[in-house]
Amino acid sequence: MTSFLCDLVIDFDAINGYEVKDVERLIKQIQDSITESGRRKVVVLFRSAHYLTTRAFVTLYDYIRNNGASNVVFVLVSTDRSRIFPPLLALVENESLNLGVA
């Protein structure tokens, strides 16, 4: 299992920020916080992740897939796994397997 100490935790409640513009604002916040310190480690807690719109999921998925996000950990919390964007869920499950996390 990979150890990860973070410098910043971002608590993102998808009930109140479920649209593309909200996820884009979050991505900008992540990028700014990483740029400011150079090697900052960030954890993003997505509470009620199943409330994100499909377009918001696609935006998040593209960011994770294209940027590698090696210094960012996304924690998706949901009461309804079936409402999580399937490609994102597959990506997260694949990465968990690669890290040896069940």
27 closest CA partner among 3, 49, 56: 56
pLDDT in tens, 74-97: 888 888 888 889 998 888 776 554
Of residues 32 and 3, the one with the higher pLDDT is 32
Least confident of 14-18, 21-25, 35-39, 82-86: 35-39
What pLDDT does 64 receive? 87
Fold of domain 8-99? Rossmann fold (3.40.50)
Tell me the pLDDT band of 99, cut-offs 50, 70 and 90. very low
Residue 65, helix vs strand vs coil: helix
The span from the CA of 84 to the CA of 54, in Å, is: 9
**Chain centre to alpha carbon of residue 64:** 7
pLDDT in tens, 28-51: 988 888 887 666 788 899 899 999
- Report domain extents, the chain: 8-99
Q: What is the dihedral of CA 7, 22, 70, 79, to 10 degrees?
A: 90
